[in-house]
Amino acid sequence: MALVDPNDSSRETLKAMLLGMDTVWLEADCSRYEFFPDIVDQTTPDVGVISLDTDSTAAIKLIERITRETPDTALLATSAVSDGQLILQAIRAGAREFLTLPLVEEELSSALGRISQTKFGGGDARNRSCEVIAIAGATGGVGTTSTAVNLGCVLAEESRNSVALLDLDLALGDADVFLDAIPDYTLADVVQNIGRLDIQLLKKSLTKHSSGLYLLPRPVELHDLEAIDTESLRKVVGLLKASFTHLIVDLSKTYNALDMIAIESASRVLLVTQLDLPCLRNVVRLMMSFDETEGLAERVEIIVNRAGLDAGQISLKKAKETLGREIFALLPNDYRTMVEVRNNGVPLITQAPKAALTQAFRDVAYRLTHREAGAAAEESSSADDHSSNESRWKRFWPGAAKA
pLDDT the model gives residue 32 = 95
Alpha-carbon dihedral angle through residues 327, 279, 175, 151, given to the nearest 10 degrees? -10
Average pLDDT over residues 328-334: 95
Between 301 and 112, the higher pLDDT residue: 301
Domain ranges of the chain: 2-120, 131-372
pLDDT the model gives residue 311 = 64
Q: What is the pLDDT of residues 79-101, one digit of tens each?
A: 998 888 899 899 999 999 999 98
pLDDT the model gives residue 388 = 52
pLDDT the model gives residue 38 = 94
User: Which burial class, exposed, middle or buried, applies to 161 when counting CB atoms under 10 A from its CB (0-12, 13-18, 19+)?
Assistant: buried
CATH match for 2-120 among 3.30.420.10, 3.40.50.2300, 3.40.50.10490, 1.10.1040.10: 3.40.50.2300
Q: Given a cut of 60, is residue 345 above it in pLDDT?
A: yes
Q: Lowest-confidence range among 190-199, 290-299, 312-321, 374-383?
A: 374-383
Q: Given a cut of 70, is residue 147 above it in pLDDT?
A: yes
Between 104 and 208, the higher pLDDT residue: 208
Find the length of the chain. Answer: 403
Between 107 and 310, the higher pLDDT residue: 107
- Give the mean pLDDT of the chain: 86
Distance between CA atoms of residues 53 and 239, nearest Å: 30
Q: How confident is the model at residue 199 (pLDDT cuts 50, 70, 90)?
A: low
Between 107 and 382, the higher pLDDT residue: 107
The CATH code for residues 131-372 is 3.40.50.300
Q: Given a cut of 60, is residue 124 above it in pLDDT?
A: no
pLDDT the model gives residue 403 = 40
> Cα 337 to chain center, whole Å?
29
Q: What is the pLDDT of residues 212-259, one digit of tens each?
A: 999 999 999 999 998 899 988 988 888 888 788 899 999 999 999 999
pLDDT the model gives residue 402 = 42
Distance between CA atoms of residues 165 and 60, nearest Å: 43
Q: How confident is the model at residue 176 (pLDDT cuts 50, 70, 90)?
A: very high
Nearest residue to 378 (alpha-carbon basis) of 314, 318, 297: 297
Burial letters 79-112, b for 16+ CB under 10 A, else e? beeeeeebbebbeebbbbbbbebebeeeebeebb
Distance between CA atoms of residues 217 and 291, nearest Å: 30
pLDDT the model gives residue 398 = 44
Distance between CA atoms of residues 237 and 19, nearest Å: 12
Q: Given a cut of 60, is residue 287 above it in pLDDT?
A: yes
pLDDT the model gives residue 401 = 42
Q: 16-20, 32-36, 115-119 — which one is most confidently predicted on average?
A: 32-36
